[in-house]
Structure 1
Amino acid sequence: MAEEVVRIAARGDGVTSTGRHVPFGVPGDVLLDDGALAPGPHHQEPPCRHFPECGGCQLQHVDDEAYRGYLQSRVETALYQHGLATEIREPHLSPPNSRRRATLRVLNTAQGVVIGFNAAKSHRIVDMRENFILRPELLALLEPLREMLRRLLPSKSPAEVHMTLIDQGVDLLLKGLSASKLEAIETLAAFATAQGLARLSMDQGLGPETVYEPERATIALSGIPVAFPVGSFLQATSDGEAALVATVREAVGDSKQTADLFAGLGTFALATRATYAAEASRDAAAALQQAARAARVEHRDLYRRPLDSGDLDQFEAVVLDPPRAGAEEQVRSLAASNVKRVAYVSCNPATFARDAAMLAAAGYALDWIKPVGQFRWSTHIELAAAFSR
């Protein structure tokens, strides 16, 4: 008996009303008696020749309407598991070719340099010959990189390329490539100059070392230039960052005393004019302190030393933007505090829902959630939420 696909599961499979998982199924598709899939109105032709072999995208066969529905469903399901529900606003989707950072795998083979993302569920590299998610400035480097790495990378020796688009251009970090000889160093310097890189750094196993930086590398956050340490975290797209900033500002409202926890370089601290920020990375904390001179920035690991309720009581609002593990211990202290508003930015709906349940039990109202799809056509989801009491 034919079955209709009604939703998309967390890892990207379609699911029928009876719970059958259907690879590449989209709501509205029909699973026929012979096992074939009849495409429905939300099933689109994937734009990239590498799909589905490449593991960089899982949902290129899903149109925007169904993709927004998938993002909303992921959030609703995570909340439901903790007995929560709220307004889920229409998700923001970053457009194609908007991602400004990427980590690519590299291998020098007999056929040439292979560079790209790993194949799905594999360590094999899919040689990237077209791409519909990365910014054009990053894509323009691929062929020059192939030529340069062909000369410097030993045969069958794996490496990584980390690319981030910042104010001055592309910030490039090479991992796994040795360049101890003068000829190799001159080749790298010539490559950086010819390609107009913002910075070129290398990690030969002992941490990043900058070999080319004609001017100080910065990233503008809320219009303020912030020093950009090598390997720093940056929101994946500039429009996604803007969407998250707007929702955080709304959640914080007109609060005068605001704390930004897990602050990074200050994406939200600078946007909300936070009076206090805590960040575990020493380099990021120093960069933020230099940019936000009016705020107190503390180099502090909030997993090891969360602020207690007494520390938090001086603030009207708190912004949280923790890693995927969430902020369980810090949220426990926050739940016991007198803070009135909380803006929570998360890249993991499951840990967010766990933490949200603690806040709800302490009397906070979960006012709304805004999903943000910065990693277009992937199963990765971010969100910003507003709590108040």
Structure 2
Amino acid sequence: MNRVRVLVVDDSPTMRAIIKQKLRSDPDIEVVGEAGDPYEAREAIKTHSPDVITLDIEMPNMNGIDFLEKIMRLRPTPVIMVSTLTQNGASATIEALALGAFDCVGKPTDGDLANAFPNLARKVKLAARSPISKRRNASTVPQRDANYRPANKIIAIGSSTGGVEALGEVLKDFPANCPPTVITQHMPESFTASFAGRLNSLCAPEVLEAKDGAPLEVGKVYIAPGRIAHLEVKIGEKLSCRLTHADLVSGHKPSVDVLFRSVAPLGARVVAAILTGMGQDGAEGLLEIRNAGGRTVGQDEATSVVYGMPRVAFELGAVEKQLPLSKIASALLKLSGAEDEGRISA
């Protein structure tokens, strides 16, 4: 197996050194070059033809977002964004993921450089094997089904790597009166508020970061806050969001398994989907939903950026039907609508 060839782009020599050290510790990765700004990076790309690029967002001469747009348009290459975990950095990273970046990692902010970027090498190797995402047209008017009539159901969705783009693709087809929808997307702290804001500007329903105690309402989509808490659905006279601060579950906080298990007692009222992502978070929770009488779908391998979570769920028997990303929204709406015929079309 050939080693994955990586180009490191960051304006900080110190940060480039840390990233190179982390990557070179993996025998399957070769750092073929580095650059301090997009102009140097452009020449390095021509010289080295890297398999993957790590790209800083804030750089001199041209910011990382503009450079990413040029990369995806002129020479599509898997890109992992490196960002500070600030509000500005979060907003820019969400934009980068929507443009087709494979994933994002946060720069260390606590001075603990030795433990920085713990999952970077793994993400680089996954990125090298992934299909290049095609940029979405953010100006596209969302498709809305004026004839849709919601039933007394709830939609739950779990996703990870590749999920930013996948969730945008799904939610853009949701009508303004969609069923209450709860989502756990693996994402760094402070990123989910920006992510929710972006989706809210592009989709017909109201999309917001989940708050503890918020009632679940028709026409609203609730996204679990990144790394702060698990999102659960509190079952009572009325359904509401509950944020819990327990330890990692299935290796994550927030965890898709936690969300899915919390809605499983609702049985046939639940329609759930597991989308692209690495690992197996959500598979066992999705199985609990299906065993309780809920309806379940999973993203297929061909359209998944990383066919990890949906694969494990499918092999476990948790997925009722695998579908391409383009058909998941219609399946969820059909199964949660007042005229559900009980079938999922391929």
The TM-score with structure 2 as length reference comes to 0.40
Structure-1-length-normalised TM-score? 0.37
The structure with higher relative contact order (CA 8 Å, sep 6+) is: 1
Larger Rg computed on CA atoms: 1
Q: Higher helix proportion, which one?
A: 2
More strand by share: 1
